[in-house]
Structure 1
Amino acid sequence: MSTLPDSSLPPSFGSPESQPSRTFRVDFASKRITGMIDGLEAIKQTVFNILSTERYEYLIHSFDYGSELAGLSGADPLMLQSELKRRVTEALTQDDRITGVSDFQFDFNDDVALISFRVYTIYGALDAQKEVRNLV
């Protein structure tokens, strides 16, 4: 006999589900929703959103969503490359549609790093970039 009560929640409650691919297309220049997108184009927008959202910053997102690119300061470029690569990969592979991240290239200029990389998804591969500021 168990000392804990039996749960009345369905077995799937709280278990991770696949992310939907079909989503709203956001035109970031005009700040408007301009239709629907699916497949690789939706993943491209997801990559942008994940890397533009600081993890733990917004209560609306789970702790698995976003990146931890802020707060990397005072380190030499080799350490920054290693840490940025790890953090970008960790942030993006939380999405089960993204199967891998590779081919990182870094361009450091003062306190700014431009990171270029390739994202492999269940729909194909795409190239992406992220600029990280305040690395002094």
Structure 2
Amino acid sequence: MATLPTGATLGMEVTFESYPTRTWHVDQNTWRISGFTDELKAMAQAVQIALNIRRFRWQIYTPDSGHEIDAEGYSFETARVRLTNQIRDALLQDDRITDVADFTFTAPEPGSMVAAFTVKTIFGDLRTEVTA
């Protein structure tokens, strides 16, 4: 007994599309929505959101959103490797980000580390940093 209708196939073509970058603009000084933003400015905002929310913490975000940055209690060299991998993992979930590179690390005080890096997007490059 056949389970598929005559002439039906399972070889359907699937097309993936990227989400547009046009989004609400959040004013960094007042934290209020002030119109729309697009392309590189929208990507800068998306990067900041990804680096400021914990993955799996908030149900409003998908499981591939946010970060799992944690380098506390590790030596400087081990923390550098962990942060590099964790930052890349958080940001490369977005298909509009092509690479995360040019990492520099500083330890302004004991138990604290600042990672500065370049986020390469399809709209251009962004330089940003994270404190861990």
Counterparts of 1:1-136 in structure 2 under 5 Å? Answer: 1-2=2-3, 17-70=17-70, 72-108=71-107, 109-132=109-132
Q: Distance in 1 between matches of 2:55 and 2:118?
A: 21
User: 2: CA distance between counterparts of 1:37 and 1:111?
Assistant: 37
Tell me the distance in 1 between the aligned counterparts of 2:72 and 2:131: 15
**1:20-66: CA deviations, max 9, x gaps?**
20011101321201111111110001100000010010011111000
CA separation of 1:22 and 1:91: change in aligned 2, threshold 3 A: same
TM-score by length of 2: 0.85
Q: Residues 19 and 96 of structure 1 are in contact (CA less than 8 Å); yes or no, is this contact kept in structure 2?
A: no
CA-CA distance at 1:99 after TM superposition: 0.3
Structure with the larger strand share: 1
Gaps of 5+ in 2: 4-12
**Within 1, Cα distance between the matches of 2:60 and 2:119?**
25
- Higher RCO structure (Cα 8 Å, ≥6 apart): 1
Determine which structure has more spread, i.e. the larger CA radius of gyration: 2
Contact 2:98 2:120 in 1 (8 A): yes
**1:19·1:95 contact (CA, 8 Å) conserved in 2?**
no
Once the 2 structures are TM-superposed, how far is the Cα of residue 17 of structure 1 from its aligned partner?
4.2
User: What's the C-alpha RMSD, in Å, of the aligned pairs?
Assistant: 2.0
Q: What TM-score, normalized to structure 1?
A: 0.82
Q: How many residues align?
A: 123
Structure 1 residue runs of 4 or more that deviate by more than 3 Å after TM superposition: none
5+ residue gaps in structure 1? 3-10
